[in-house]
Structure formats: C-alpha cells, structure tokens
Structure 1
Amino acid sequence: MTSRPTDSPRRAVYEILQRVADGAFADVMLDTILSRSKLEARDRRLVTELVYGILRLQGRIDFALAQFCNQPLQRLQPEVLWLLRLGTYQLLELDRVPAHAAVNSTVELARELHLEQAVGFINGVLRSLDRGKASIPWPAPEKIKLYLQHVCSQPAWLSKEIMRQLPNVEARALGESLAGPPPLTLRVNSLKTSPEDFLHALGEAGHQAHLSTFAPEGVTIDRRGEKPLPGDAQGWYQVQDEASILIAHLLDAHPEQRILDACAAPGGKTTHLAAVTENQSEIVALDKYPRRVEMIQQGALRLGCSSITAKQWDLTEPADFLETQSFDRILLDAPCSGLGVLRRNPEGRWNKSSVNLRELAALQRQILENIAPLVKPEGKLLYSVCTFSHGETDAIIDGFLADHPEFVLENLQQQVSPDWADLFTARGTLRSYPHRHSNMDAFFAARLHRRS
C-alpha cells in the first residue's frame, strides 16, 4: 500500500521539499502537512528537522553528492535529486539514523514514488557516499569563499555579501552560525506574567530554559519536555527571537503616546509595544494583506493587547487617511531579504539573489519616504530590518538623511543599558549577529529624531 505524507515521515519531507522548490514557504508547508498528519510526536520532530536541515545545508549536501555522482547534479531529474539530498543529509548529519536505514528508506521511497528507473542509481550513489564520506575534500576554513559556499552552505552571492560585511574570521563564524539551527526564544508577555514566573512554570512542566542575555522579557528554551509549553492559551508568551524583542525597547515608546507600526504583521513587535506601554498608548498597525491584518488582531486578542487598531494598507502609497505629523513614535520594520533569519527561513538563501536585494532596498526607501511625514516634531522613527546587507541598512539611512535634514540619527548606544553596548556600532545603530550576541538573529536598527 502506498503511504501518504500524513503517515510516512520521509514521504512528508519529500512532499514539503517539492512544494518549497515550487515556491512555497517551508514553515507554511510544514504546518499544512503536519496539521492533517497522523504521525506521532517523534516522527513530527524528525520531519521538521529533516526539512529545515536539508534546506539549510543544501549547498553542503550538494558538494558531498557531487563527489560520488557520475553526472552533474543540475542534469538529474529534480525528484531524484531531492531524494538524494534526503538520504545524504541523514548519512552526514544524523548519527542516530543508521546508514543502512537512511539508504534503504530512500530507495523504498523512490519505488513508492514510481521512480523505479532511478532506484539503482540512488542506491549506488548513497552507498558510495556512505563508504567515502570520511574522504570528502571539504574546503579548508582558510579558503573563506569556498568554505562559506560548500561547508556553510551559503550560495555564491550571499558568501560575497558576508565577506563584504565582515573580516574573514568573523565571516566564517557568521556563515557557520547561519548553517546551524536557531534557538527557540519566547517573549514573556508582561501584561500576563513575569519572566521569572514563566521560567518557573516551564520547569514545572519539564522544560529546561534560561533567561535571555539581552532582552529583558526573553526566555530561551534549552530542551523541551514532553508536555506542551505552559500558558499558550492564556497568552503568557509569544515566540519571538531575542533580537526582535529588542526592537520595541529601541523605539523608546511610552504610555499616552500615539504609535504607528507601519509594517506590522504578524504582530510580535506590535503586541510588544502594547505591553511596554501597558496598553495605555494608541497603536495603529498597518499591513498590506488582509489575512495578515487578521493575524495581528488574533495575536492582540490572545495576548490581551487592547490598545491596537489594525488596518490594511499598502505603504507603497502614502497613508492619506492618517494626519501628517500625528505620531509620537513610528516603527518601520521594513520588508527585507531576511538574511539575518535564514536559519528560520532557510529556503531564502536559494530563492533570492543580489538583484532581489536592490529591489528590496528601493521598496524600503519608498515606504520610509511615505511614513516620514507622519512623525511629529520631536518624534522618533525606528527603521529596522532582519538582515545585514549594506544596501538594506546603512545605505538606506544615509540616503534618507541626505535628503531629509529635518531628521537626525540618534546614537542608541548612549540611550540604553550599558549591558547592551556590544550590540551597537560606533555611530549608534543596532547590529546584532548570532556568532557575537548569544545566538540571536542578525538585525539592524537605526532611530531617527525629527527636529522641530
């Protein structure tokens, strides 16, 4: 009997990878297939690990495969190549899966998918790889560009961007970080509980966790127990990376202010702003897509955030329904390449290019131009992105300031806790990196002050 994605973990992985190759998002496809799955918890975890691991390490996997395949990988039937990647990841990265099980399960899946003509080929390549994996000629760390591409699994365009930003030793460290899994970090909802009480509840439920290094509301899960995380239905927490948690604090928002979150979905930063202002500020949250506006509203309801009004609007057009110079604080967490969160969205490294970065920079500047008139005199605008490319970060700020002398760049390092000093550049912008800063995502933020 042919298995379905709902009852075979490796079949589920294959189906998800195929859909991602066609343009779907990995997290969406995982949720879709696992939501209708009959798989047990252990198999669900295996599916998640295989999908994200294969997408993160696709470059590394392909380098290894190329040593044992007698034809160029790009000439292989796509279905066959994904099966080879599935088997190779298990052989190289999963010690708990015996080699014979990794090979045999991949071969059986090929038969199940009616790829009988490729069964012998897949079996031969994977067995050769298993026998010869100790002799794979991985590039040495000193050969930084090749190391980033073939060991750290960064495509050539991204390797160049990393090397442009950092010296070789740090470029290598960032590449290694982006090739690994991300931490699971939660923002404790201060409207409902405290980090200390939540940490205690986690321990009582059998989870191991610790308070985050920088973010005051952050809790990082070290090891999950068998029970669900406590307080989900009660709105005790929001899944949110430590770098993302910092953003609401950097806006310097206070109760009784009028605040705009310009590109708000899915709403993690919006609801955090409601929490830090104790539901005592008027918060307007905009997003381009109606479904994502619903996500903001649902999150606000779950977390008890009563001060948020969410509305659909495409900010490539001026928001003419909002009064000029009417906001004390504006957060623009702009659409970006997401290079800083590639561990969470690993398909991004394979479906983007340097051309996309230039297109995104133009979009970011356009949105920034459209919201700047909404800032009150003496008000503040925080521009943030989860990326590290120069064109989406410093170049955006420098170009905007050159055209808008009414705004000045504030030095964030002088206005936050001394414990955060290492997070900021000499000019006072946030630059977080996973290899430097407690494994948090790579973020950039700059705060602009509008003079009277």
Structure 2
Amino acid sequence: MKNIQKAYEIIYATQYQGAYASLLLKQVDDDYNVALITELVYGTIRNYRYVFATWRQFTETKLKQKVSALLDLGVYMLRFSDKPDYAIVNNIVEISKQIEKKRYTKLVNAVLNNCLKTDPLVLSDDQPSEMALKYSHPEWLVHLWIAHYGHERTLEILKYNLTRNTVTLRSNHHKISTDDLLKMDDRFSKGHLAPEEVYFDGNIFETEYFKKGLVSVQDAASQLVAHHVNANVDDTILDTCSAPGTKAIHIASLRHDKGKLDAVELHESRSHLIRNECARLGIESIRVFNHDARFLSDILDEEAYEKVLVDVPCTGLGVMRGKPEIKMHIKPEDIDSIVILQREIIDSSVKMVKDGGSLIYSTCTINKKENEQQIKYLLNTYPNFKLKFEETIFGYEHQSDSFYIAVLERIA
C-alpha cells in the first residue's frame, strides 16, 4: 500500500500545492516501486477531469482537497488499472483514515462502491464541452485549439495527450555518429523524425553510453531546431534563452565543438545545468552568460551573430503528454502574459542578428498567439526581416512533442 500512498501524496501536491509531478517523482527512492507510482500519478493527472466527474456525481457537497485527490486516484485505478476492485477500494479506504481522524472514511468507501456499480461516463467527440471532459483538458483550451487548428486536429491532440510518454535520445555527434551508436548495442533503435533521434530498450541512465556522453535526452521535434539553425563552423551563434542547453549543445555537437556559441540564461541555477551537460558531453565551445534575454545588448555586441536562436519561454502546450500537470494549471491569461514576454525577447534578439544572418524562433507550444502571430508581429515591426520557413510539428503525427519553428532572414 505504501506505493499507492506515495502516489496519492504526489497527486495532492501537484493538484493543490502547485508542485511539479516530474520533480517529486525524481525524489522517490528505490524502496518504492517507482514505475508503479509514476503510472498512478501520471495516469490520474492525465485523466483528472474525467475521474473527478465520475465520482463527483455521488457527492452533494464540495470535499476537502485531500479527499478529492484521493478519490481521483481511486477512480483512476478502478477505471484504468488491472488491480482487483476490492483491493483498490480497501487501499484507498485505508489511506482515507489518515484524513481528519477517519472523518471521510465511510464517504470514500460509499463513493468508490457507487462508482463500481455505475457504467463509465459516455461522452461524445463532437461537442467541445464533452471532448474537454472525456480527454481531461480545460474547455477553453479545446475551444482555442478548434479555432486555431480545426475540430479533427484538436481531437487528435486531445487523444495523444492521454498516451504515455517515451524517453527520446539524441546521439552526440561530437563523439559518435548515429549509425555507429546503433551498431554498438541491439537495444538501440533509430527514430524517424530527426537525424540523431534514437531510442533505447532499457534504463539508459545506468549505461556507459549515457555516462560517457554518447547520448542525451531530447525530444525528436526539439532536435529539429538545431538543423534549422543550420550553422556553419564559421558562424557565430547566439542562443538567447538557453537552459537546460539541449539545443545549444546540439548545435555545438553538429559542428564538432568548433566555432563560437554564446548561451544566455536568466537563472544562475539553470546555467549550471548547461555547464554540467557540456562537461558530460565534452563540449567546450559554449560560453554561458547569466542575463535577462530582454536586454541582450547590455552585455553583447549588436549585429554580431550570423544565427540567433530565440527559443522563448512558452506555455508548453506541446509537451503536455509528458507533463500533464500543465493542463491542470494553465489559464487563458497565462497565454496573454507570456506573449508580452516573448515580444520583449524578440525585440531584444533582432538587434543581435547581422545583415544576411538568420533568426530562428521556436516554441514547444501549440497556439497561434505564441507562434504565427508572434512572427507576424516581428515582420510588421521589423520590415528588414523576411520569413524563410515556418512549420508547426504536431506530436501525434510523429510520436513526439509538438513544436513550432520559424526561420527569418535579416535583409541587408
């Protein structure tokens, strides 16, 4: 029962205390069944609206947050796990005894048994309100996606976000080619979206391949960004919002650690992530600066870079399959706030591009306010830039995260 107890604690902290499930799961020690806890936590969070609606029909009043989180977990297990129903109910009821001296134990037992006697909710794929409930997304977000991408594509996004995430790797081109890496171990397999995309059947973090810096963790769609930067050895590169440094390091590895690359990161603690990963992968060509990307010209020369990567902070709507807690906390006003920050970073970044150079804009989100409309803003505000390439990568089409990438050229 201790694994279910731990899962419950993480779910509660994620739902009601603003914690990140991924960080809490990393803190679970080996005395627990980490795989089981991860499945229970992410499964419950992915289906948070559906499981809540399932048990809420059997309660007349709003319950304490701890009780609500516990019932969410219990209903998820009843509906989606293969554990015997009686064992699930017994475990959840036992945990409920810790809440306010067993005050809610009878209620929890009654609600779960009512759920067992009731057929699963029947919801359509036609109405946005039912789609939002069935696939556990905020209703306003479903409406936004339908407006931006249409009903059918939105439905595919919703379904995809309920699937389990996989660990995608990138071969470190500085140390080994993808083909040579694949030959080293039959457990490696080739991806299909990005040239360095590989997968490993097992725990890669315990292997010498990872410890010696032959591979990094990076989503396949994210890996495409470095290829759109398309840096030559002689190009001076700027990554304006760098941490944790995966894209900057990928660019450096493709150039075999030659040339100059400056990486800017606001937070000192996250700058250490870049430096540590550079050390593991054998990358020495990256200079790391702690600074606010809205004020780049305060520390760097303007018009000094052939390629400027602007991988702006975003709402992360394209990575919700791996970080489902995003959809629990995201609000419409969050998009409006981040758009302002993105434009301030754009305004700062355009000054750094040489005549004839390129600005590469990317996000791991899917909404046109943060993507296409930001490029429209850039082109309208800075007529000396021209759009050369633009693409939205939808994760469900490639088994990857969703990404947006645009390449603009500064006209001399």
User: Common fold, TM-score beyond 0.5?
Assistant: yes
CA RMSD of aligned residues (A): 1.8
1:89 — aligned with what?
76
* Shift, 1:201, TM fit: 4.0
1:249-328 matches, within 5 Å, as 249-328=227-306
Given residue 11 of structure 1, which amino acid in structure 2 is its aligned partner? Q
Residues 274 and 308 of structure 1 are in contact (CA less than 8 Å); yes or no, is this contact kept in structure 2? Answer: yes
1:48 — aligned with what?
38
Given residue 242 of structure 2, which amino acid in structure 1 is its aligned partner? A
Residues 205 and 211 of structure 2 are in contact (CA less than 8 Å); yes or no, is this contact kept in structure 1? Answer: no
Does residue 148 of structure 2 align to residue 165 of structure 1? yes
* Shift, 1:28, TM fit: 1.4
* Shift, 1:317, TM fit: 2.6
Does residue 51 of structure 2 align to residue 61 of structure 1? yes
Distance of 2:24 and 2:297 partners within structure 1: 33
Residues 294 and 347 of structure 2 are in contact (CA less than 8 Å); yes or no, is this contact kept in structure 1? Answer: no
Distance of 1:260 and 1:112 partners within structure 2: 53
Q: Cα 1:434–1:409, aligned 2, differ >3 Å: closer, same or farther?
A: same
2:23 — aligned with what?
28
Does residue 408 of structure 2 align to residue 448 of structure 1? yes
1:220 — aligned with what?
199
Does residue 154 of structure 2 align to residue 175 of structure 1? no
2:209 — aligned with what?
231
Given residue 13 of structure 1, which amino acid in structure 2 is its aligned partner? A
Distance of 1:154 and 1:115 partners within structure 2: 34
Does residue 122 of structure 2 align to residue 138 of structure 1? yes
Residues 174 and 255 of structure 2 are in contact (CA less than 8 Å); yes or no, is this contact kept in structure 1? Answer: no
**Alpha-carbon displacement from aligned partner over 1:363-383 (angstroms, at most 9, x marks no partner):** 101001011111011110100
* Shift, 1:38, TM fit: 4.0
Does residue 31 of structure 2 align to residue 39 of structure 1? yes
* Shift, 1:247, TM fit: 0.5
Given residue 117 of structure 1, which amino acid in structure 2 is its aligned partner? R
Aligned counterpart in structure 1 of residue 9 of structure 2, from 10, 15, 18: 15
Q: Secondary structure at the match of 1:408?
A: strand
Residues 56 and 347 of structure 1 are in contact (CA less than 8 Å); yes or no, is this contact kept in structure 2? Answer: yes
Residues 201 and 230 of structure 1 are in contact (CA less than 8 Å); yes or no, is this contact kept in structure 2? Answer: no
* Shift, 1:115, TM fit: 4.6
Aligned counterpart in structure 2 of residue 154 of structure 1, from 131, 137, 146: 137
Given residue 399 of structure 2, which amino acid in structure 1 is its aligned partner? N
User: Percent identical across equivalent pairs?
Assistant: 28
Q: Cα 1:351–1:258, aligned 2, differ >3 Å: closer, same or farther?
A: same
Q: Secondary structure at the match of 1:388?
A: coil
Given residue 292 of structure 2, which amino acid in structure 1 is its aligned partner? D
Q: Cα 1:88–1:318, aligned 2, differ >3 Å: closer, same or farther?
A: same
Given residue 396 of structure 2, which amino acid in structure 1 is its aligned partner? H
Distance of 1:299 and 1:225 partners within structure 2: 19
Residues 204 and 210 of structure 2 are in contact (CA less than 8 Å); yes or no, is this contact kept in structure 1? Answer: no
Distance of 1:381 and 1:276 partners within structure 2: 18
Q: Secondary structure at the match of 2:299?
A: coil
* Shift, 1:357, TM fit: 0.2
**Alpha-carbon displacement from aligned partner over 1:35-60 (angstroms, at most 9, x marks no partner):** xx2425xx110111111121111012
1:79 — aligned with what?
66
**Alpha-carbon displacement from aligned partner over 1:208-264 (angstroms, at most 9, x marks no partner):** x5311120000134x537993451110111111110010000111111211011100
Q: Secondary structure at the match of 1:435?
A: helix
Residues 325 and 373 of structure 1 are in contact (CA less than 8 Å); yes or no, is this contact kept in structure 2? Answer: yes
* Shift, 1:284, TM fit: 0.6
1:356 — aligned with what?
334
Q: Secondary structure at the match of 1:343?
A: coil
Given residue 60 of structure 2, which amino acid in structure 1 is its aligned partner? Q
1:111 — aligned with what?
97
Does residue 59 of structure 2 align to residue 70 of structure 1? yes
* Shift, 1:30, TM fit: 1.4
**Alpha-carbon displacement from aligned partner over 1:135-175 (angstroms, at most 9, x marks no partner):** 233212223x1342111111112111221122222211111
Given residue 218 of structure 1, which amino acid in structure 2 is its aligned partner? E
Residues 266 and 293 of structure 2 are in contact (CA less than 8 Å); yes or no, is this contact kept in structure 1? Answer: yes
Q: Cα 1:319–1:49, aligned 2, differ >3 Å: closer, same or farther?
A: farther
Q: Secondary structure at the match of 1:392?
A: coil
Residues 332 and 381 of structure 1 are in contact (CA less than 8 Å); yes or no, is this contact kept in structure 2? Answer: yes
Q: Secondary structure at the match of 1:309?
A: strand
Residues 257 and 285 of structure 2 are in contact (CA less than 8 Å); yes or no, is this contact kept in structure 1? Answer: yes
Q: Cα 1:76–1:114, aligned 2, differ >3 Å: closer, same or farther?
A: closer
1:369-448 matches, within 5 Å, as 369-411=347-389, 429-436=390-397, 438-448=398-408
Q: Secondary structure at the match of 2:297?
A: coil
Gaps of 5+ in 2: none
Task: Say which is worse superposed, 79-88 or 168-177, in terms of deviation.
Answer: 168-177
Question: How many pairs were matched up?
Answer: 411
Distance of 2:274 and 2:205 partners within structure 1: 27
Q: Cα 1:227–1:302, aligned 2, differ >3 Å: closer, same or farther?
A: closer
Q: Cα 1:347–1:333, aligned 2, differ >3 Å: closer, same or farther?
A: same
Distance of 1:352 and 1:297 partners within structure 2: 31
Residues 341 and 387 of structure 1 are in contact (CA less than 8 Å); yes or no, is this contact kept in structure 2? Answer: yes
Q: Cα 1:331–1:115, aligned 2, differ >3 Å: closer, same or farther?
A: farther
Q: Cα 1:136–1:236, aligned 2, differ >3 Å: closer, same or farther?
A: same
TM-score (norm 1): 0.87
Residues 202 and 229 of structure 1 are in contact (CA less than 8 Å); yes or no, is this contact kept in structure 2? Answer: no
* Shift, 1:315, TM fit: 1.6
Q: Cα 1:93–1:128, aligned 2, differ >3 Å: closer, same or farther?
A: same
Residues 275 and 305 of structure 1 are in contact (CA less than 8 Å); yes or no, is this contact kept in structure 2? Answer: yes
